[in-house]
Structure 1
């Protein structure tokens, strides 16, 4: 799998409607995500998190400002960027077997049938479902169906994976399992992962960085490096006092949104391979 490029958002604004009916959702938002990073985006309901993710995927174009994938303006969906949507029930086709669900998008990319089947089986094995290819989605649990949706995203062999509230429709135990699966896949494949979530604990547990959106219209109000190490555990990591500190910082910003001058944007200087311009990881 190729390494991919940085996703760079510069002074993006997104509005819906025109004239007196115009509703500006995002205003002056800038951020950067480099190859191999795991970044979580959080914010209150209605903050435009999904709108931003759709812009990052090329499915929606901003009203103004620029989004680039490396040196390439992002104006349409790219093969390098895969998306896992929020509701697996709406994204999996119940009349197709699981293997065919995973392989289906590859047909439009011109991938031959034998290669589609091989890649689908490999991706199902990667998400811990090596023996379900011949079943139908409705024969699987909710957590297993979401694994299938993740496998389909991996089948693109895209270096960037965008996930929109990916675990919100499953039970708590399945959610923990899927979080750990995503961390494992990120380590194994070296992909860039961007997750939009309303769950603050999930964002702190998963991310190398957490970008907090807030305000009306929305902009970046904080950008935190999560200094919890690369190996994380649902019990030990969540019991770490630093986890509580970071969770409190994010929750405070969401409940009382006000841009923090040193952290207003999530840009990173070109000379720094990783991390925001100025990082505060403790309250």
Structure 2
């Protein structure tokens, strides 16, 4: 896998400095007797520079939680805050990487333009947008694809471009919704290692929603396990592996197997 080994100048200063917190979060769709309660009294904290995986039964509300964290959905009760400031709408400090990267990238724009596009809304000068886009593409190992279109790239490369776009926006927190579900196994492993590398180099906080228990343990400092409807936190599993992890050695560690079994047992209850 080709990727830069030194954090780009503009990006290296974006590391997370605040805690992302969820306090008593509840979310329901609809009103009255027909309302569907999805999240109930859910509380958690993501510390600066921490990677947290969120797992749970299918349909438990993981994506709903992620959208509340991003300010894309208003809570029915409770609050989401970054550094003590309530998130009532999307903020620049929190970026989202969606599962469907093929739709999130604009096919008529070249990759560099896709990465730089969100910066236009912040009225960043064109020269700086170009520089930040190039640095962001280099950070995800794609320094030479800026002039190409998304459809000229593989699925894994397109997802890297989507991650680069979130980095370019100077996000301190990356929210990732099943980010590697649509790629093959080897590409998934490469992208998992990319996420770990970005945390090491840039100091960003990362929240990953995933159905893959192995992925949740391999990536995270902590795995948050949700119950079924309505979702609440039933377990918070500390992962003792350090920042340097290996796809073969880490996953062969007996501790990895024990953590995987603990999480699976919680989900299948």
The separation in 2 between residues aligned to 1:216 and 1:126, in whole angstroms, is 39
TM-score, normalised via structure 1 length: 0.89
Mapped pair 1:64 → 2:77: yes
Mapped pair 1:106 → 2:99: no
Q: Which has the higher contact order (CA 8 A, sep 6+)?
A: 2
Counterpart among 86, 102, 116 of residue 99 in structure 2: 86
1:228/1:242 contact within 8 Å kept = no
Aligned twin of 1:182: 195
Mapped pair 1:73 → 2:94: no
Consecutive unaligned residues of structure 2, counting only runs of 5 or more, are 1-12
Aligned twin of 1:28: 41
Q: CA deviation at 1:7?
A: 1.0
Q: Secondary structure at the match of 2:163?
A: helix
Aligned twin of 1:205: 218
Aligned twin of 1:130: 143
Runs of 4+ in 1 over 6 A off after TM superposition: none
Consecutive unaligned residues of structure 1, counting only runs of 5 or more, are 257-283
Q: CA deviation at 1:138?
A: 0.3
Q: CA deviation at 1:228?
A: 1.6
Over the aligned positions, Cα root-mean-square deviation in angstroms equals 0.8
The separation in 2 between residues aligned to 1:94 and 1:71, in whole angstroms, is 38
Aligned twin of 1:163: 176
CA-to-aligned-CA distance 1:89-147 (integer Å, 9 cap, x gap): 11000000000000000011111111000000001011110111000000000000000
Mapped pair 1:51 → 2:64: yes
CA-to-aligned-CA distance 1:50-72 (integer Å, 9 cap, x gap): 00000000111110111111121
CA-to-aligned-CA distance 1:38-90 (integer Å, 9 cap, x gap): 10000111110000000000111110111111121111111111110111011
Q: CA deviation at 1:4?
A: 2.9
Q: Secondary structure at the match of 1:150?
A: helix
CA-to-aligned-CA distance 1:120-177 (integer Å, 9 cap, x gap): 0001011110111000000000000000000001101111111111001111110000
2:61/2:229 contact within 8 Å kept = no
Q: CA deviation at 1:20?
A: 1.8
Counterpart among 19, 37, 42 of residue 32 in structure 2: 19
Aligned twin of 2:252: 239
The separation in 2 between residues aligned to 1:201 and 1:49, in whole angstroms, is 17
* Number of residue-to-residue matches in the alignment: 256
